[in-house]
Amino acid sequence: MNLIIDVGNSYVKVAVFQESKLLRSYVCVAENFFKKIQEIKKDYPQISFSMLSSVVKDTSAFEKILKEETNLYVLSENTKLPFKNNYGSPQTLGKDRLALAAAASLNFQYENVLIIDAGTCITFDFKNAANEYLGGAISPGLQMRLKALQHFTSKLPLVSLDEKAPLIGNSTQNSILSGVLNGVSAELDGIIDRYKADYKYLTVILTGGDTQILSKRVKNSIFANPNFLFEGLNYILEFNKTQ
């Protein structure tokens, strides 16, 4: 049984897998990580392996806890991957993006796949039909755009996200929501169209915390999978067990 940990900019996400089957997932803040792991181990004492992926630099506290409880694998640029990584600077590539490419390799090995992860940032990652990861793009996420409008202006307020944003805003709040939500939706559709122009057969996956709100707005055909990153991390762990 595997314990999968994804340390993000805002939260720590944890999942329990029995081989390739996701049994349960959790979300906590970093300060509650030790308590959460103890609770999970009590519920699933069969857990013996773990995979840690992080976008933050210092993971020593997480590693210490996991080494005491499991056989720990830490995802890095030196980890063996189930696909060919053609990224120009693998040492700077986010571990979350590696995991998404692994999930694409697991589920769509011989297909061209564009993975859009809508979280703190919106990342675009592309794996081709030859099972090669080529790279992609990074863009500000929904919350980051809302906060930027408030931070870099003197009068605009910080607006809470609301999926009912109109096309034509009739107030400052609605105008901000319209600009952010409709702007991001148009951005996603535009980038998908660009990829489709170069790759006739393209599978598009939308994942991340803002999947639900954006999946309703993207016009292109997509597969929404909020657990895609977890699946990729678990696949990398299973792949490395056999090496």
pLDDT tens digit sequence for 4-23: 999 987 789 999 999 999 99
Q: What is the pTM assigned to this prediction?
A: 0.91
Query: 63: pLDDT confidence band, cut at 50, 70 and 90?
Result: very high
57 annotated binding-site participant = no
- The active-site residue, picked from 58, 96, 189, 210, is 96
What confidence score (pLDDT) does residue 83 get?
97
> Which two three-digit tokens encode residue 14?
């944890």
CATH numbers and ranges of domains, the chain:
2-74 (3.30.420.40), 84-232 (3.30.420.40)
Q: With pLDDT > 70 as the criterion, what percentage of the chain qualifies?
A: 100
216 annotated binding-site participant = no
97 annotated binding-site participant = yes
User: Is position 58 annotated as part of the catalytic site?
Assistant: no
50 annotated binding-site participant = no
pLDDT tens digit sequence for 149-180: 999 999 999 999 988 889 999 999 999 999 99
